[in-house]
Amino acid sequence: MGNDGGSIPTRRELVKEAAKDPNNTQVKETQTEKLQYYWSHCSLSQKPLSPPIVSDSTGNLYNKDAVLENLLITSKDTRDGNIAGSERTAGTIKSLRDIVEVRFSIEEEGQEEAKEDSATRSNELRLVCPVTGKRLGPGVKAVYLVPCGHAFAETAVREMPGEQCLECNEPYSTENVIPILPVSPTDKDRLRDRISKLQSDGLTHSLKKAPGSSKKRKQQTQPTKKLEAANKIDRVAGPDLPPSKESRFETPSDAIRNEDTAALTAKVLAEQEDRNKRRKTAPNDNLKALFSSSNGMAGKQSDFMTRGFAIPPGAKR
């Protein structure tokens, strides 16, 4: 290193050739190896997949026990002010409503195959399509349906007419056909758009209501009901009259949560108030009978106010 006639080699002398970008064949081989691993191992715990198997909105596969354990860790990290637990799933799994149990058709291996590949396939499941019989994996594009969760080869779902599950006949829509471990950017973008639309509608990946969505909707509807009730009272009172004391308090329709029932109650109250006003201003038949509208002389046709006192005939004076 010094005074011995040696020299320190530089990087230029050690690296003779620059790194080359992998070609298409190498990229496909790497991608196939990665898919083969995640088709047989949990994306969360890195353990071999074993039923029950679940999937999130991005199409990744997990062991359900690993997801439950991660949710417990996430809740503990949230209490401690740490988010390490939620980062393990990139925020796609926040509750059990964000996963769907994928119902694979599992084919049992024959005795001869089991003896030959017992060392390599001891923990590997043989997942097959119940319609085409193809083995699901990196070489076959597979999908599962939401909400039932049955898995098929993508060609079977595309070629079969109708929008009902081929296993349980449960209806589904086209946007709820989830590709398993998607690779193409088109599938990934579609899944992102789907979950964004569901979140805006207050739903989760399993098409169940998101936690807290009903509370937000309730808080948004209550001010609207109070404003409508105040407007109805103002219309009854009139624009030139000051608001009555009753307008300071909530009407019975405000306490009703059903919008149709509240509208019907407000209509009945308005009709009742209108009927009370007409009763006060309408002439009373009982009082009208006591008075006469004629201006003639007092007599039989006059009332007791204009008739006066008369001495009956034959009375002694």
Looking at residue 117, what DSSP letter applies?
T
For residues 162 and 243, state if they share a domain.
Answer: no
For residues 81 and 132, state if they share a domain.
Answer: yes
For residues 46 and 102, state if they share a domain.
Answer: yes
Range of the domain at 55: 24-110+122-200
Instruction: Tell me which residue of 112, 3, 97 sits closest to 54, measured CA to CA.
Output: 97
For residues 231 and 141, state if they share a domain.
Answer: no
Contact 151, 127 (CB under 8 A): yes
Domain-embedded: residue 150 = yes
Place of tokens 């009903």: 214
For residues 195 and 261, state if they share a domain.
Answer: no
Instruction: Tell me which residue of 100, 128, 110, 157 sits closest to 39, measured CA to CA.
Output: 128
Other Cβ atoms within 10 Å of 309 Cβ, number: 4
3-state secondary structure of 177: strand
Other Cβ atoms within 10 Å of 80 Cβ, number: 10
- Percentage of the chain lying above the pLDDT 90 cut: 36
CA atoms of 175 and 187, how far apart (whole Å): 11
Q: Which two tokens stand for residue 20?
A: 């080359």
User: 173-222, pLDDT tens digit by residue?
Assistant: 999 999 999 999 999 999 999 999 999 999 999 999 988 766 555 555 55
Does residue 81 have a pLDDT over 60?
no
Highest mean pLDDT among 89-93, 155-159, 235-239, 295-299: 155-159
For residues 30 and 173, state if they share a domain.
Answer: yes
Instruction: Tell me which residue of 75, 72, 68, 74 sits closest to 54, measured CA to CA.
Output: 68
Tell which of 171, 200, 229 closes a domain.
200
Domain-embedded: residue 275 = yes
For residues 180 and 83, state if they share a domain.
Answer: yes
pLDDT at 206: 93
Does residue 301 have a pLDDT over 70?
no
Tell which of 176, 200, 224 closes a domain.
200
For residues 148 and 234, state if they share a domain.
Answer: no
User: 134-186, pLDDT tens digit by residue?
Assistant: 999 988 999 999 999 999 999 999 888 778 898 999 999 999 999 999 999 99
Contact 104, 136 (CB under 8 A): yes
For residues 44 and 170, state if they share a domain.
Answer: yes
For residues 133 and 226, state if they share a domain.
Answer: no
pLDDT at 114: 44
Looking at residue 99, what DSSP letter applies?
-
Bigger pLDDT: 45 vs 240? 45
Confidence band of 111 (pLDDT split at 50, 70, 90)? very low
**Amino acid, single-letter form, for residue 39:** W
Domain-embedded: residue 176 = yes
Contact 236, 276 (CB under 8 A): no
Least confident of 58-62, 144-148, 180-184, 255-259: 255-259
For residues 56 and 141, state if they share a domain.
Answer: yes
